[in-house]
Structure 1
């Protein structure tokens, strides 16, 4: 995979990485607030693992909301870790975000496809909604993967710098 040299054609990968971390923190906080402020009947949390009756019991006890909140708190922690890693130039501190990022991208793809297909197969006519979810979700996935590539490129740059030493060795072996 080729490395990106710039983020959005004007900023360095370091700046893009910091922006990505800050966006992750802001979006996680907004999501936590929305999950707990929005009325239960307006948002449906389902696990799709258990029987429908057990799933309703879990939702009544706010278990899915609690799990989502814990996951978002870990996302905030990993984004803070990414900010520290950029400032201290430590690649091993960036690694949790890089791994989490690709796992979240896979989860996002599955979620977008599942939601869109569910609406397409619904007895009611939700074709427009399903198409909007599919197009919007895939656009968001592409944007997310681009930001992940920016962070990954910066991770590789920092890792290479650590391997050869900051200023002690020449970048080329002659």
Structure 2
């Protein structure tokens, strides 16, 4: 993969990485608030492993909300770690975000495809909703992958700088 030199053609990859981490924290907090303030049965959670009665019991006990909240708290933690890594110029602190980012991208792709296919196959006519989910989800995935590539490029730059060693760096980088 070719490294990106700029984020959005005007900012450095460092600035783009900081913006990505801050956006991750803001979106995670907003999602946690949304999960716990939306009416309980407006959103349907299903496991596809157990029967519908068991899924309803899990939803009644708020288990899906708790699991999503824990996942989002870890996202906040990893984005905070990314901010610290960028400021301290430590590549090994960026690595959890880089690895989690690509895993989340794969999960997002699977989720987009599963949700849109489920709506397409539904006996009710949900073609418009399925198309909006598919197109909007793919656009969101492309944006997410671009921001991941910005952070990954900055990670590679910092890692290369660490490998060169302190005395081989330019004087203004010490």
Aligned counterparts, 1:63-82, within 5 A: 63-82=63-82
Give unpaired runs (5+ residues) of structure 2: none
What residue in structure 1 maps to residue 98 of structure 2? 98
TM-score by length of 1: 0.95
TM superposition shift of 1:51:
2.1
Q: CA RMSD in A?
A: 1.1
1:27-42 superposed matches below 5 A: 27-42=27-42
Match of 1:15 in 2: 15
The answer to whether the Cα contact below 8 Å between 1:45 and 1:65 also exists between their aligned partners in 2 is: no
C-alpha distance after superposition, 1:118-138 (max 9, x if no partner): 000000101011000000000
Partner of 2:116 in structure 1?
A: 116
User: Equivalents in 1 of 2:96, 2:72: separation in Å?
Assistant: 14
Question: What is the aligned partner in structure 1 of residue 86 from structure 2?
Answer: 86
- Rounded to whole Å, the distance in 1 between the matches of 2:31 and 2:18 is 20
Superposed displacement of residue 170, structure 1: 6.4
- Mean CA deviation greater in 52-61 or 123-132: 52-61
- Normalised to the residue count of structure 2, the TM-score between the two structures is 0.95
Tell me, yes or no, if the aligned pair for 2:161 and 2:169 is still in contact at 8 Å.
no
Aligned partner of 1:107 in structure 2 is 107
Give CA-to-partner distance per residue, 1:99-150, whole Å, 9 cap, x none. 1100100010000000000000000101011000000000000000000000
By how many angstroms is 1:55 displaced? 1.2
**2:168 paired residue number:** 169
Structure 2 distance, partners of 1:147, 1:68, is 23
